Structure 1
Amino acid sequence: MKIKFVGFAAMALLALMACKSDDDNNPDGPTLRDLSEVTAENETELQAYLKTHFYNYEEFANPTEGFDYKIVFDTIAGDNADKIPLIDRPELKDMVVSVDDVPHKMYILNVRQGTGDKPLLGDQVVVKYEASNPDGTIVDASAVEFSSPTLSTDPQQMYQFTEGFTHLILDLHVGSGYVENADGTLTWNNDYGIGACFVPAGLAYYRSGNYKPFIFKVDMLAFNQIDQDYIYDYTAGGNVSSPDGIPSSMEDVNGNGDPRDDDTDGDGIPNYLDADDDNDGILTIYEYDVLPDNNNNGIIDEGDGDGIPDDSDGDGIYDYLDPDNQIGSGI
């Protein structure tokens, strides 16, 4: 059975397009509070939560029969007065992510790493997740669904979800797979990654006028490489599908782990959304899935069989990134 990906359970990790600071107070959106002020308030609230709450680490360390492997948070008080607070757990780590030049500290709780590979930014993932506020209010949750993915026609609206959630997913590995049941449902092998993160509003829903910090829980079940390139015609108000054969997560030309900042031809469209990465008039698919054997199947079929894209003029730059190469126009 081939897994298909969809909905809120299946998301592209290349989701979050960079938001510009001049969008903060536009006529079409809310007038936002000062981000630095909100971030400072959130950090105080998150620190207080992490010092006064624990998770069911004892159940994870010594699972009983029937344990559901779900993270549960509770207050350190009464019968739980001797529990170790989240802030002191070795599984918790913090990282700083800047938004509009404002540093945001987020916390990742990696309860179980997972036994398989982990996704890269730009891959599509299958997860179970829950989003809540520190007061325990559950804002959103999803079980796993499978179907075909849907892409927005506007690059600025592709898979918009939060930066904090993305960093949690990138920290977890998948498991060893699943068993398909007779009724078509799946039972996942119990070795997938499990984690949670605690994020300030700037890494959650600040842009929508929600200034609360958030807690995300995730079961990392599977991931898949996808190719999000297409030609977008703003004048016509639509797009023409044109995948270039390179998975979005592999278009990280500068190797920093983030394909969003790779724009080889400087046209303002990152390579993962650009059907002609070097703007030489030859679509990337014809320079990567190489002529003359090109069959648009996304598999490098250049002549020498080494699995490396061609460099026709020998200048050390692959043809699909080189605007000055020797490929003809027989496309």
Structure 2
Amino acid sequence: MNKAIKAVSLLILISVFYACKKDDGYNIVPPRDYGEQYAAELPLIEEYLKTHYIESVSTDFDISLKEIPEGGTQVSIWDQEEYRLQFKMVKSNDVDYKVYYLVLNEGVGDAPTRGDNVITAYRGTILDGTQFDYRPFPDSYSSLAISIEGWQEIIPLFRAGLHDDSPSPDPATFTDYGAGVMFLPSGLAYFNSSPNSVIGAYESLIFTFKLYAVEYTDLDGDGILNKDETEPGIDIKDYDTDGDGTPNYLDADDDNDGHSTKNEITNQATGERYSFDEIPTCEGGTLKRHLDPACHE
């Protein structure tokens, strides 16, 4: 039974990621070493941060970044204090990436995980300022699970906004939403592929973005939301309680005992699933029953 559960879980993942790839492979060149490529890109990203400044940030968190002119006295993105430059270390393909980002507004609503759906407005450019994508008025959710890796790392650092329910002929509006800027090396974006005619292979990217809304999902269909398939301070991709190499949020049998998580969190007397907080532990145990291989019905 355990093998069947794992097989079903794998098929779900394959179907999700195959149906919605992060790019269409406009052009693909032979891959380079990830570490060597990052070592070449990092100085260029940092040079950009030291030679450009924040011209303005509107009340709607639209930001304008401009190059400091020769002899200019503007304070660079690197040195300015109003929106302090931050970074997150990301391990990917055996490379320790330093991902720079700006927080224009943290937001007040729910924070997504890398597996959830989000409504985002955004603008994407390459380092020379050329725009390759622009979505100012999003009208539907998109999945972070099939986005580029940089988005999966940075967007969850922000929170959604508040939906404005007042009657209006305009599209849905939000207030106090998360907003920021991310500066991505190609290893966390499209690397050696070119998804369109603007983005070249090995192109570093800049995204300005606004996180309007979050929809929590359950990618493995086990009855537990992705956000609950971890512990505080642990990214869902790093939480694998049975050590089988598949994180819990993508694993339909979290304790690898041959009994599906969906079944183990169901009250056999009523046929109803427990809410996450009400999932019981085994008698004499401390783990919730779906995480304890010694406990199942």
TM-score category, normalised to shorter length: 0.7 to 0.9
Normalising by structure 1, we get a TM-score of 0.70
Structure 2 counterpart of 1:206, one-letter code: F
Pair 95,271 (structure 1): closer, same or farther in 2 beyond 3 Å = closer
Structure 1 counterpart of 2:213, one-letter code: A
Instruction: Indicate the SS of the match to 2:103.
Output: strand
Pair 34,257 (structure 1): closer, same or farther in 2 beyond 3 Å = same
Q: Write the mapping of 1:141-160 to structure 2, written as runs, cut at 5 A.
A: 141-142=134-135, 143-146=137-140, 159-160=145-146
Task: Give the aligned partner of residue 294 of structure 2.
Answer: 324
Q: 1:201 aligns with which of 186, 189, 201?
A: 186
Structure 1 counterpart of 2:126, one-letter code: N
Whether the aligned pair in 1 keeps the contact of 2:163 and 2:174 (CA below 8 Å) is yes
Pair 137,320 (structure 1): closer, same or farther in 2 beyond 3 Å = same
Q: C-alpha root-mean-square deviation of aligned residues, in Å?
A: 2.7
1:251 aligns with 2:250: no
Q: Write the mapping of 1:5-24 to structure 2, written as runs, cut at 5 A.
A: none
Task: Write out per-residue CA displacement over residues 165-205 of structure 1, whole angstroms, 9 at most, x where no aligned residue.
Answer: 2232122222222235454731222x212100112111211
Instruction: Indicate the SS of the match to 2:147.
Output: coil
Instruction: Indicate the SS of the match to 2:100.
Output: strand
Task: Give the aligned partner of residue 283 of structure 2.
Answer: 313
Q: 2:174 aligns with which of 164, 167, 188?
A: 188
Distance 1:168 1:194 in 2: 11
Task: Give the aligned partner of residue 71 of structure 1.
Answer: 63
Task: Give the aligned partner of residue 9 of structure 1.
Answer: none
Question: How far has the Cα of 1:207 moved from its partner?
Answer: 5.0
Unmatched segments (≥5 aa) in structure 2: 1-15, 18-27, 195-200
Task: Give the aligned partner of residue 299 of structure 1.
Answer: 275
Question: How far has the Cα of 1:248 moved from its partner?
Answer: 0.9
Pair 48,293 (structure 1): closer, same or farther in 2 beyond 3 Å = same
Task: Write out per-residue CA displacement over residues 152-175 of structure 1, whole angstroms, 9 at most, x where no aligned residue.
Answer: xxxxxx933222222321222222
Instruction: Indicate the SS of the match to 2:180.
Output: strand
Q: Write the mapping of 1:83-162 to structure 2, written as runs, cut at 5 A.
A: 83-90=74-81, 91-142=84-135, 143-146=137-140, 159-162=145-148
Question: How far has the Cα of 1:226 moved from its partner?
Answer: 0.8
Task: Write out per-residue CA displacement over residues 2-34 of structure 1, whole angstroms, 9 at most, x where no aligned residue.
Answer: xxxxxxxxxxxxx99xxxxxxxxxxxx753112
Percent identity between the aligned chains?
A: 32
Task: Give the aligned partner of residue 4 of structure 1.
Answer: none
Task: Give the aligned partner of residue 163 of structure 2.
Answer: 177
Normalising by structure 2, we get a TM-score of 0.78
- Count of aligned residue pairs for this structure pair: 263
Task: Give the aligned partner of residue 5 of structure 2.
Answer: none
